[in-house]
Amino acid sequence: MKCEYCGQEEPLPFKCPYCGKFFCVEHRLPEAHSCEKIFLATSPSKRKEVYRPKFETYETRFPYKRLRVSFSPREKLELLFATLIVSLVGLSFIGWSLNIFELPFALLAFALSFLAHEIAHKISAVKEGLIAFFKLDVVGVILTFVSTFSPLKIVAPGSVMVLGYLDSKTMGKVSSAGPLINIFVGSLLYPFRYFNVPFSNALNAICLLNLWIAVFNLIPLGVLDGRKVFAWDKRIWLIMFIIPLLLLASTYFL
């Protein structure tokens, strides 16, 4: 069967739960194939606010002047649950190498790093005149939890869903916002690994985890941020991917 978005032959197509059409693995998510019924993903009380057909201009897409960054009660709960799962990954990442004072500081920083990543996506989408909300992913939650017991760390308990008309540039800009936060934090803390300062072990752990999150999310495959940034601008993707990768490599080999 052919994907109804790109026309690619797909032996095991995915059926969209909202529009009922069939798509390949790359376009299986509603936002990836610009689903015309993605508004059904929201609660019935908000569908009138969220639904927008395909418009051509900002003025006709959004009859109000400015969208605000806000979080529904359900979104807050899902973010809290995702943050707890990520904190478990952070705990397994650092093991018990930190003392009793450094450990709470590091875990709090891990949680804030994850939240900053997701909120950056949301703010970026809202600035583009789009509606965005965080949503847990069952498979992502399971993989993230399982990674607490494995050497390979996966931090993908959910993602920010974006509603509205998205071209490759807009999608790339929104997708790059999260990893940029992690690259900034990792790069900012990187020099502290060479100095003996208070909480130096915790700062190094926070630095490494942020760099890992950036590298993982920038892999240009599947539904990861990297695929969307790569489709937008390969040069920007390469710069964003190389910086945390080189910093990570230097921590292990230098």
Which sequence spans correspond to the domains of the chain? 1-41, 55-253
Question: In this structure, are residues 54 and 34 in contact, taking their beta carbons and an 8 Å threshold?
Answer: yes
Q: Determine the Cα–Cα distance for residues 205 and 211; give it in Å rounded to an integer.
A: 10
Q: Give the pLDDT score at 50.
A: 42
CA angle at residue 60 from 64 to 228, to 5 degrees?
95
Q: Give the pLDDT score at 28.
A: 80
Per-residue pLDDT tens, the chain, 254 aa: give them.
788 887 888 777 778 887 888 888 777 887 777 776 765 665 544 444 444 444 443 433 444 345 578 888 999 999 999 999 988 887 887 766 677 788 888 888 888 999 999 999 999 998 888 888 999 999 889 998 998 888 877 888 988 988 777 788 889 999 999 999 999 999 999 998 887 777 788 888 889 889 988 998 999 988 889 999 999 999 999 999 999 999 999 987 76
Closest by CA position to 70, among listed 44, 49, 84: 49
Q: Give the pLDDT score at 89.
A: 84
Q: Give the pLDDT score at 162.
A: 85
Q: Give the pLDDT score at 152.
A: 79
Which tokens is 3 given? 């994907």
C-alpha torsion 202→206→209→211, nearest 10:
-130
Q: Give the pLDDT score at 18.
A: 79
Count of CB atoms situated within 10 Å of the CB of 156: 21
pLDDT tens by residue, 37-80: 765 665 544 444 444 444 443 433 444 345 578 888 999 999 99
**pTM for this one?**
0.70
- The CATH code that applies to domain 1-41 is 4.10.1110.10
pLDDT tens by residue, 98-108: 777 888 888 88
CA atoms within 13 A on the CB side of 120: 18
The backbone region for 198, taken as left when phi is positive above 0, alpha when psi lies in -120 to 50, beta otherwise, is beta
Q: Give the pLDDT score at 63.
A: 41
Which tokens is 5 given? 């978005």
Q: Give the pLDDT score at 19.
A: 82
Q: Give the pLDDT score at 41.
A: 60
